[in-house]
Amino acid sequence: MAAGLLLAGATGPVGFVLGVGGSMLFDAIYDNREAIGKWAGDAVSSVSDKAGEIFDKAGDAVGGFFSGLGSAFG
């Protein structure tokens, strides 16, 4: 609320609304930081798992290509 009053002095009613809204947003994030952290961790883990699958498939494809290339010359 103090941020809203500080901005109100500088910018008027719009500053007050932005300041109060910013304070409310900060409070909501701070109060739910554990749930947000778990959600972010799960998202990173999921992306990491998918990237690992893609790199494994790419490695298999490259390995298969080169093994086939060797048999063409041998």
The pLDDT value recorded for residue 1 is 52
Does 72 lie in the same domain as 38? yes
* Beta carbons of 18 and 7 less than 8 angstroms apart: yes
The pLDDT value recorded for residue 51 is 79
Does 38 lie in the same domain as 72? yes
Does 39 lie in the same domain as 14? no
- For 17-71, the pLDDT digits (tens) are 778 888 999 998 888 888 888 888 888 888 887 877 777 776 666 666 666 555 5
Number of domains in the chain: 2
CB atoms within 10 A of CB 25: 10
Does 44 lie in the same domain as 23? no
Statement: residue 74 has pLDDT above 70? no
State which residues form the domain around 14: 1-31
The pLDDT value recorded for residue 36 is 82
Structure tokens at 21: 């809204």
Does 55 lie in the same domain as 20? no
Contacts (Cβ under 8 Å, ≥6 apart) of 23: 1, 2, 3, 4
Does 58 lie in the same domain as 40? yes
The pLDDT value recorded for residue 45 is 81
Q: How far is CA 73 from CA 62, 63, 67, in A?
A: 17, 16, 10
Single-letter residue type at 64: G
